[in-house]
Amino acid sequence: MSGAIADAFARARARGEGALVAYAMAGDPDLPRSVDVFAACVEGGADILEIGVAFSDPIADGPVIQGASERALKAGSTLRRVLDEVVPAVRERCPQTPLVVMTYVNVIMALGEERYAKLARERGVSGTILPDLPPEESIDIRQAFDREGLELIPLCAPTTSPKRAESIAKDARGFVYCVSVAGVTGMRSQLPADLSERLELVRRVSPVPVVAGFGISSAEQARVVGAHADGVVVGSAIVRAAQADGPSAARQVCADIKRGLKR
Amino acid sequence: MDTKTAPGRFGRYGGRYVPETLVPAHQELELAYAEAQKDPSFGEQVAQVLREFVGRETPLTPARRLTTLWGGAEVWLKREDLAHTGAHKINNTIGQVLLAKRMGKKRIIAETGAGQHGVATATACALFGLPCEVYMGALDVERQSLNVFRMKALGATVHAVESGSRTLKDAMNEAMRVWVAQIHDTHYVIGSAAGPHPYPTIVRDFQSVIGKEVRTQSLVAFGQLPDAIIACIGGGSNAIGILHPFIGDKNVRLVGVEAGGHGLDSGQHGASLTLGTEGVLHGSRSLVLQDEHGQIMEAHSISAGLDYPGVGPELAYLAKTGRVEVRTATDDEALKAFYEVCRNEGILPALESSHAFARAGELARELGKGKYLVINCSGRGDKDVATIAARGVPPAIRLEGA
């Protein structure tokens, strides 16, 4: 494995830490202020930034990110504006941190997958997560991304069979995003008991790092999950904190989680 | 013409764009449905319930006064309004709930727009003893209070969805989100011939009973297949149900009518086949109403069942290949047609079906005398009377009635 994402995981590992992938919504509360949230996440210790691009019909997201999506759309966020205004500004403030875009397949299709891949790569995006694009539907998009060296990061779910998880992991680019709970994004007080087992299974076969996401919001959860993964994704907790108390609250959430990821 | 070019694909349209968590459930459903289709006892069971409980077959009724009024083809009505619960939706819910039971599912969830699909799902659940949760846009909860009452009376829980446009598309988003969290023991009964594979195929197959009956009935009633069939299209389940069995009959014109809302130029309509562009919504690639950035637009129709910004992938394919002709009718035209059908035939059609009636007169005249036109009267209008009464009687109708 090579590239900015791999380097970020390697740096975290060298420091004896699990990596923190921090998600926030571009354009929430507006485009410039969302840049402050991303920068704050990096100040709090985020190793990779996941830049949410709003979609009107986010079927994989829970209420916190749905709300952020609605606010971002009201503020005029579009994929094109995120690539033109948010991504370059974040890159400038956090030059070391790999950026990953997370949105829905229709948003990418509307811009055109090849055009998107080219623009994203030019502006310094390393990868893309599309939660409504299972492997069966992803062949064309992945080819377009591969041509630009943009990594299409696959998801694995609690309902994914071991055999299917193995084939998803073997083909993965960037990292494998293991969804920790059968459900939508959002904070949970409890994570499933078999999560560690599933993470280990994917890790055994995956050529790239494996992270767990969905439902993780505390240092303790990060510590438990981080023992079986290369890192965690935190989204709703950051989005909620940033909405309530601004970028410094997002920084605090990241710092807390990062404490849990120390080994 | 076989419109199925790949499993779950209709030309470029269809597929299964869902979160990974849902993929195994769709594969399980696909497999269970394939097995059920191979099992003659399943088909017999569905047919028996449709006969004994739903009241199939529904009549093919001559519309003599409309025929005279329009002065063209002889007009016949396929009376899905006479199916139990008052619309075609029950054909699909009986089939899917029986399938869910066969799969050992413990609970049913559904989305609904006008509430007909919710009522039909709640009915099937009551009949077969399964708990039922229905997701409905908060706006639709307000404008379809009769159906909300019916669902609750049947024992279903109705959840008002406050997100987005508070209509059908948001109800479908919410039902999908809930399903992701309850995937192990819950079946999601999708009511339209839309959504991820295998739903468009399953819904089409269960609804095709409409068109199959029309084939036999028309031979008995007027000794030939119809020259044209017309149906309204929102997501498209009644349309694909009546049209699909005739796709191979080149001499039968197939016509769909979309919601023109306030007019195609107004930006407030539900005409996704007419003005939509290719996109992915609710798990399938089809024609959708969206802006240049890929954000789904809010559809509008006076009919809560037609204000959906997407359409089933098979209909998108049939429309693009020209096999299905697509027209639109505005809110006002649908209202006018509603009264026309009431006063000439003694039938209160649903506002959805009124869209088909609104374009049927022209089609009858285009076809001319000696031809036969079948209109799918997909549901009855009782649920819409508050909406219709609030609009007042259109002036043109008032004159005719005076």
* pLDDT tens digit at each of 263 positions of chain A: 469 999 999 999 999 999 999 999 999 999 999 999 999 999 999 999 999 999 999 999 999 999 999 999 999 999 999 999 999 999 999 999 999 999 999 999 999 999 999 999 999 999 999 999 999 999 999 999 999 999 999 999 999 999 999 999 999 999 999 999 988 888 788 888 889 999 999 999 999 999 999 999 999 999 999 999 999 999 999 999 999 999 999 999 999 999 999 98
Angle between helices B40-49 and B89-102 (to 10 degrees): 140
| Min Cα–Cα distance to chain A from B268, Å | 17
Q: Treating both helix axes as pointing N-terminal to C-terminal, what angle do B331-345 and B351-367 enclose, rounded to 10 degrees?
A: 80
State the pLDDT at residue B1. Answer: 47
- Contacts with B25 from chain A: Cβ below 8 Å: 159
Distances (CA, A) of A85 to A5, A22, A77, A81, A94: 22, 19, 10, 5, 14
Distance from CA of A69 to the nearest CA of B (A): 10
Contacts of A80 in chain B (CB under 8 A): 293
Q: Which chain A residues have a beta carbon less than 8 Å from that of B278?
A: 109
Q: How far is Cα B47 from Cα A199, in angstroms, rounded to an integer?
A: 47
- What 8-state DSSP symbol labels residue A262? B
Inter-chain touch B24–A109, beta carbons under 8 Å: no
Is B294 close to A106, i.e. CB distance below 8 A?
yes
How far apart are the CA of B110 and the nearest CA of chain A, in angstroms? 15
Give every CB contact of residue B333 below 8 A, 6+ residues apart in sequence: B260, B355, B358, B359
CB B7 within 8 A of CB B274: no
Burial of B12 (0-12, 13-18, 19+ CB in 10 A): middle
Tokens of A95: 């030059």
Report all structural domains of chain A as residue ranges with CATH numbers, in order of start.
4-261 (3.20.20.70)
- pTM score: 0.96
CB atoms within 10 A of CB A14: 8
Give the C-alpha separation, B151 to A40, whole Å: 49
> What is the ipTM score, two decimals?
0.95
Give which of B167, B176, B182, B280 to mutate to test A binding, by max A Cβ within 10 Å. Answer: B280
Please give chain B's pLDDT, 402 residues, in tens: 456 567 799 999 999 999 999 999 999 999 999 999 999 999 999 999 999 999 999 999 999 999 999 999 999 999 999 999 999 999 999 999 999 999 999 999 999 998 999 999 999 999 999 999 999 999 999 888 999 999 999 999 999 999 888 889 999 999 999 998 898 899 999 999 999 999 999 999 999 999 999 999 999 999 999 999 999 999 999 999 999 999 999 999 999 999 999 999 999 999 999 999 999 999 999 999 999 999 999 999 999 899 999 999 999 999 999 999 999 999 999 999 999 999 999 999 999 999 999 999 999 999 999 999 999 999 999 999 999 999 988 877 765 544
The rounded distance, in Å, linking the Cα atoms of A208 and A201 is 13
Q: Which domains does chain B have, with CATH numbers?
A: 11-51+89-199 (3.40.50.1100), 55-86+208-391 (3.40.50.1100)
Which residues lie closer than 8 Å to B56 by C-beta, 6 or more apart? Answer: B50, B83, B91, B209, B213
Cα B131–B82–B380 angle (5° rounding)? Answer: 85
pLDDT in tens, B315-339: 999 999 999 999 999 999 999 999 9
Query: Annotated active-site positions of B, please?
Result: 89, 111, 378
Asked if B278's CB is within 8 angstroms of A109's CB, the reply is: yes
Query: How high is the pLDDT of residue B7?
Result: 79
Residue-wise pLDDT tens digits, B199-258: 999 999 999 999 999 999 999 999 999 999 999 999 999 999 999 999 999 999 999 999
